[in-house]
Amino acid sequence: MSGALKEVRNRIKSVQSTQQITKAMKMVSAAKLRRAQDAITQMRPYAQKLQEMLGNIVSNSDGGVNLALAAERQVNKALIIVVTSDRGLCGGYNSNLIKLAKHLIAEKYAAQNAKGNVQILPIGKKGFEHFTKNGFKVYDKYWDIFTGLSFDKVQAAAQYAMDAFSTKEVDAVEVIYSEFKNAATQRFVAEQFLPVQKVVPKEGQKKADFIFEPAKEVLINELMPKILNTQLFKAVLDANASEHGARMTAMDKASENANELLKSLKISYNRARQAAITTELTEIVSGAAALNG
């Protein structure tokens, strides 16, 4: 076999091996996606209702109630929670999240960042590695949350953010994550986590009226942290489902590209093989003609 034929054959084997890996990874991601999708689908209505309730409570509270987590003040220091994945091979998923985080800092917190007053709290290894390497101020305690994902781990990260806000170590907390739509679609969003935003009633809509039992301040101060824990957990579950969806889609595209490459390589192999056969025949005919001559 000629060198050209051997080289093409080796390339075909290499692409076939890669395609087997991408197909296997797609199947694994599809299985994980089903579980992750079930988790966020069940969680989302509950979390959205709690968030709506929290906004209504803040909007309707009078000045006599101390709402430390809803206190709006001049932003001198900011905390950005960036939820990425632990692993790559999921298309532009992580790069889009990191890009959104940098855009938010440049647009909203440029002055604070220039003074070194923007802190990143990464959830996910990819975000942790990027922001650490690029000289950002990084809080490195919760980046490995996806290793055995649980509500308790996310609650610890949310509590850190709430404590930092309550003690005025930071004046605003933002969360950047990917909202899951379906396997092929994610929406990259930046949401204000703290201070808690008020709900502005639509025109003609009545304000929500609550009867508090026990006392309003006791209930609100107990309820707000629990709801905020749930909000961050919902964002992490959204990100988890989005990651598996993005990886499944990326591996599907990679398998399709491998198919196209295999078709091209097989055509090249057949051409090279035909050329080799033609050359051999020509040599045989030339040799026979020489002997006869």
pLDDT of 227-244, one tens digit each?
999 999 999 999 999 999
- Report if residue 196 sits inside a domain: yes
Residues recognised as catalytic: 90
- Report if residue 230 sits inside a domain: yes
The answer on pLDDT for 206 being more than 70 is no
CATH number reported for the structural domain that contains residue 88 in this entry: 3.40.1380.10
Quote the pTM value. Answer: 0.86
Q: Which of 190, 170, 159 is nearest to 73 (CA)?
A: 170
- Report if residue 30 sits inside a domain: yes
Number of domains into which the chain is organized: 1
User: To which residue do tokens 């932003």 refer?
Assistant: 75
- Report if residue 95 sits inside a domain: yes
- Of 47-51, 91-95, 136-140, 145-149, the range with the lowest mean pLDDT is 47-51
- Range 172-200 average pLDDT: 91
Report residue 262 as tokens. Answer: 């295999």
- 217 band by pLDDT with thresholds 50, 70 and 90: confident
- 18 band by pLDDT with thresholds 50, 70 and 90: very high
The answer on pLDDT for 1 being more than 60 is no
- Report if residue 265 sits inside a domain: no
Report residue 28 as tokens. Answer: 């694994």
Q: What is the pLDDT of residues 246-288, one digit of tens each?
A: 999 999 999 999 999 999 999 988 888 888 788 888 888 887 7
- Report if residue 286 sits inside a domain: no
pLDDT value, residue 261? 94
The answer on pLDDT for 66 being more than 80 is no
Domain extent, residue 139, equals 21-251
- Range 220-224 average pLDDT: 80
* Residues 139 and 157 sit within 8 Å (Cβ to Cβ): no
Task: Give the span between the Cα atoms of 179 and 47, in whole angstroms.
Answer: 13
